[in-house]
Structure 1
């Protein structure tokens, strides 16, 4: 079990690092595109594609960065009950049920996110003549990153003496 836990921890840490760099890149590109577009608009030469491309990058930021928030316990959660109860097997069960329910929800979103992306293959942007599948694939990408973290948390609750370390929100 220790090897599986170490493998999941390594995968979770690497996915977190990749998501961080992707979010930084997306945020940098949005900043450059929007500022460049503002200055070019003042000069009367604003590109028509900048608004649409910035919107696509913001969608990527939302879904990829959500995995960063999940890893760091930044999502909204009600942990007052679990934190107020001293450690008992009931606390471990509550945390595990919560993590499994989140995993089921993420699998549901993954399924329909992939379905939405596949259906968007022939659809292009209003201004940018590129398939919207690349934008819609941000949904399953962010969800897959979150699934890696949740699997690590589920395994952590089984192996840890302190399951409260594996709450999805702090």
Structure 2
């Protein structure tokens, strides 16, 4: 086999093993090995209490050794866990966001009624219908956009939950 190809395959396998170990460690499947006193801590070292002597020491974390079958089961559970985390952390707030848009749209309508009435009643003996209607139309348009955004978010959340 070509020497460069062998080096590439070996590097690829080493990178795959490293990413596998990092995933296992990030999910809590590791054991700590205490560093000797004369050894300097590395980037991946952690500082904690050794339960044997109740003193602080540096430790290196090593991923648990799993068979291929165990690792496949772990990946299935991990993917399911990640899927649930994404749903609860991102999509869990979607109904609240759509309700906020609805409430904000209602507040804009109420503010538009008040501002339009004040604008139509400025400094003249008669009510100025033109400026009031323009103001009411602008506020109504803005509130309809807010209602629309709220509805779009609610529908996207329903689609995601199917």
Q: Which has the higher contact order (CA 8 A, sep 6+)?
A: 1
Higher helix share: 1
TM-score scaled by length of structure 1: 0.37
Larger radius of gyration between Structure 1 and Structure 2: 2
TM-score normalized by the length of structure 2: 0.38
